[in-house]
Structure 1
Amino acid sequence: MLVTVTSTASTASNLSHLLRKHPDRAQAFALSVGTAHVFYPEVSDDRCTVAMLLEVDPIGLVRDKRFRGSDAATLARYVNDRPYASSSMVAVALGQVFRTAMSGTSESLPELAASALPLEITVAAVPARGRDTVGLATRLFGPLGWVVDEAPIPLDPEFPEWGDSVYVDLALRGEVRLSDALRHLYVLLPVLDDAKHYWVSDDEVGKLLRAGEGWLPDHPERELITRRYLAHQRSMVDEATELLAANARLSDLDDIPEDDQAAQSDLSRPTPLAPQRAEAVLGALRDIGAHSVADVGCGEGALLKRMLVDPSFTKIIGSDVSASVLAKAARALNLREASDRLRERLQLIQSSVTYQDDRIAGLDAIVLMEVIEHVDLERLPALESAVFGAAAPGAVIVTTPNDDYNALFESLSNGTFRHGDHRFEWSRAEFAEWTDGVAMRNGYTVEYRTVGDVDADLGSPTQLALFRKVTDR
């Protein structure tokens, strides 16, 4: 099975940087579904094409319990189209080989990763099964900005009277972010196939919601996509439908004003900093496998909204010192009309980050997103004692403005802060001095990450510290 992605953008060869696959090498990747070969048929600044050829091992699939699916006791387990059709296994391979590109991040070219590119995609021998499949690929990909060409493959060219097979050669053209294009394929190839030839795990709903973020809640074929992607498993379909509906209701939370929104506008970034920050925090939470999380200083719930629609977060606590802000969060999250299942996962509490609160103790993670800079410097030891000492979660994620980067904001004169309520804004060195001390005193390790566009000299606009509790072995 062959998939090609072609960029005709200016300096098209940068496609290789976004994919993190060297254009001068043919590479092979041993995957759970077989071997994926990645190579570049053409590379120039005008046009660059990457190809992924997936070789499925049919004998290995028979032996591996994960890939027996619903046909485990039938002849179809041995005689099938899996080595020849671009089915759900191609989607698995795309997700494994191009994982970083699918996330939409690029350390070397962050603006390009966030920008729509002129792309052409071909996928050979795509199954389009089930009822009313004529034009199905167009119904699925068309609303996402693609010009779709689905060419039916005849059952046998020598016998045209036999008609067409259930397979089509698929070609897509459009100006789409590379990460979005890969996520479209990751979700919609199994939907076209209407079969998942592997064990559908408990996290399948989470995979769908993560890959479908930003486009699936409003897709006109959302119901069909959800049902087919989740292999018609009713409990999962019901859960995903409820969460997608909640996501659609909460989409306006991305418009909640942020502390540095005015400063951000001066740089005209392709993607605003606020959602980048939230996604960076979510990425860190997923990296540590957190399921129970407290967002301390949650404000009106922008991060809570993102966690609420991801079923991997089974216990979510939002705390804030302001009762009125919590009331706004409850209204924005539409908790009054939410189902019992959603309301059982989320708790809003009034609390202060500088006081011990047993309700947030012992969780997988605590998030302090743009919080510490609102605390007086002399109160930081109390914050440290309450969060890292008394609550002692498995991990703590802290984000705060990077004062070094303020030199790039034309609206900020020397010594002024991004928001009037900030008590301080730290340079990278000052932040590292504080975080290193906190980690050492409380038994944590600390890892630093960037958020937003990275300047070679001044770093990123937001700095993130990921603390992990050191456990005794």
Structure 2
Amino acid sequence: MLLTVSTTHRPARDLGYLLHKHPDRVQRFSQPFGTATVLYPEATDERCTAALVLEVDPLQLARRRGRTPDFSLGQYVNDRSYAASSLLGVSLADVFSTARSGRCDSRQELADGPIPLEIEVPVLPCRAGPEQARRVFEPLGWEVVAEPLALDERFPEWGDSRYVSLRLAGEVRLADALNQLHVLLPVLDESKHYWQGSDEVDKLLRSGGSWLTAHPEREWITRRYLARSASLARIALARIALARLAELGDDDDEALEPPEAEDATQPEPARVPLNRRRHEAVLGVLRELGASRVIDLGCGSGAFVRALLDDPAYSEVAGVDVSASSLDVAARRLRLDTLGDRQRERVRLFQGALTYRDERFAGYDAAVLMEVVEHVDPSRLSALVDVVFAHARPASVLVTTPNAEYNVRYELLRGRRHPDHRFEWTRAEFSTWCREVAATQGYDVELRGIGDEDVELGAPTQLGVFRRG
């Protein structure tokens, strides 16, 4: 298998610093299934090319399959030795592990920014065809050339094979390019050579970073990457949905409101956006509860954390989100780098997933889940309940979520209120969930509405106020 990475950035030999592989050396790395070699076919100040060559030993690969006997020739005679696949993706991740992290002490400024890159994979299995290769790479900023390879050039009537010759060109950060290849090579191949454990979701999200959550093909990519485990795919999609929510922000209800009349002789009072009314309602409940230490679970871009920090009644404020990029936005919104020492000591932002236990979630007077639960796959809601109510166990938990019955009042709405919502509850469904959680976790719950109440349909937003018994 062969993959090349080229740049025309001046001086181009800096590619060696970024990859942590010296252009004047040929380096070999032992892999569980063969040998990976890194060499530089060209290395001048004008253009530099690094090549990753993977030689697969079919005997080693067959032995790794375990003790299950397989007497077919297919375990020895296949395309694994020639076509880029998960084997190449694993080797790339291992050989260029430091480059994938984006760390380069001697050229950190260069590592942090995009540079002109050209990537070639001469033989890539692409079962969905050349168009699918373009659909996954073009949204990432690449110019894509994916040419199908003939099944046999001597017999053109046989048509094309399932392989393509892939060429990518664009100005992309090298670490991002390597992580994209690590994920997308096996995705296009749809044939992983290794068993997938529970840590595979974390691997995907680490390599996917922010580019996967914003990718229009994120669901297809995730399901193909975790094709051997539907349960892992559901977990990954739930975590991606939470990250996507944070990146899109929590102001999406405003887009559903009808525009105000321009020529009204008696203009109506200006509408207060539903998102602001949610904030005000939750702040009001927190004051009722007398909470001083509050954690916002799924804080997104930090709008509600900002509101908490503006009130001196809160001695400690924490914001948690699965998306590192959203936390960066929150940090800028809060101006953490310019806050005084006393203010800076009051606030804390950190990355975390709400379906995995985390000691950092514990010890707060109140936890807020504002427009978050509906972005979690229903099969993972029990994990969220365990993390928040059973493990972190704050004195109070405030949960807001859309009222599905009210959706008919939005003239512009088709379907759910947000493209990443996994579900939307009616008032009866939300009531049932809240009362079950309260009964099993030792809490009392009070149900309220937020926004203008409709006689038939209720309020647009539902609020559950849980108090620990």
Length-normalised TM-score, structure 1: 0.59
CA separation of 1:135 and 1:224: change in aligned 2, threshold 3 A:
same
Partner of residue 318, structure 1: 361
Question: Gaps spanning 5+ residues in structure 1: where?
Answer: 260-270, 279-296, 352-473
Is 2:75 the counterpart of 1:77? Answer: yes
Is 2:238 the counterpart of 1:195? Answer: no
1:10 match: secondary structure: coil
Partner of residue 308, structure 1: 353
Question: Gaps spanning 5+ residues in structure 2: where?
Answer: 250-298, 307-323, 332-344, 396-469
Mapped contact 1:66–1:199 kept (Cα < 8 A): no
CA separation of 1:91 and 1:113: change in aligned 2, threshold 3 A:
same
Is 2:39 the counterpart of 1:39? Answer: yes
Matched AA of 1:207: K
Matched AA of 2:352: M
Length-normalised TM-score, structure 2: 0.59
How many residues align structurally? 308
Partner of residue 157, structure 2: 161
Mapped contact 1:4–1:49 kept (Cα < 8 A): yes
CA separation of 1:184 and 1:217: change in aligned 2, threshold 3 A:
same
Q: CA RMSD in A?
A: 3.2
CA separation of 1:65 and 1:145: change in aligned 2, threshold 3 A:
same
2:90 match: secondary structure: helix
2:211 match: secondary structure: coil
Which residue of 200, 214, 217 corresponds with 1:204? 200
Partner of residue 124, structure 1: 122
- 41-50 vs 73-82, which deviates more? 73-82
Distance 2:357 2:21 in 1: 36
Q: CA deviation at 1:335?
A: 5.2
Q: CA deviation at 1:331?
A: 3.1
Partner of residue 253, structure 2: none
For each residue in 1:354-387, what CA deviation from the matched residue of structure 2 results, as whole angstroms up to 9, or x when unmatched? xxxxxxxxxxxxxxxxxxxxxxxxxxxxxxxxxx
Matched AA of 1:318: F
Distance 2:373 2:347 in 1: 15
Is 2:173 the counterpart of 1:177? Answer: yes
For each residue in 1:199-233, what CA deviation from the matched residue of structure 2 results, as whole angstroms up to 9, or x when unmatched? 22221111111111111112111121111111242
Which residue of 111, 114, 120 corresponds with 2:112? 114
Whose Rg is larger? 2
Give structure 1 regions of 4+ aligned residues with deviation exceeding 4 angstroms: 71-75, 252-255, 335-338, 346-351
Partner of residue 226, structure 1: 222
1:223 match: secondary structure: helix
Q: CA deviation at 1:178?
A: 0.4
Distance 2:64 2:138 in 1: 36
CA separation of 1:133 and 1:316: change in aligned 2, threshold 3 A:
farther
2:213 match: secondary structure: coil
Partner of residue 458, structure 2: none
1:65 match: secondary structure: coil
For each residue in 1:256-292, what CA deviation from the matched residue of structure 2 results, as whole angstroms up to 9, or x when unmatched? 4999xxxxxxxxxxx99x759x9xxxxxxxxxxxxxx
Q: CA deviation at 1:9?
A: 1.4
**Which residues of 2 match residues 275-424 of structure 1 at below 5 A?**
275=328, 299=347, 302-303=349-350, 306-308=351-353, 314-319=357-362, 323=365, 327=367, 330-331=369-370, 334=372, 338=376, 339-346=381-388
CA separation of 1:199 and 1:45: change in aligned 2, threshold 3 A:
same
1:175 match: secondary structure: strand
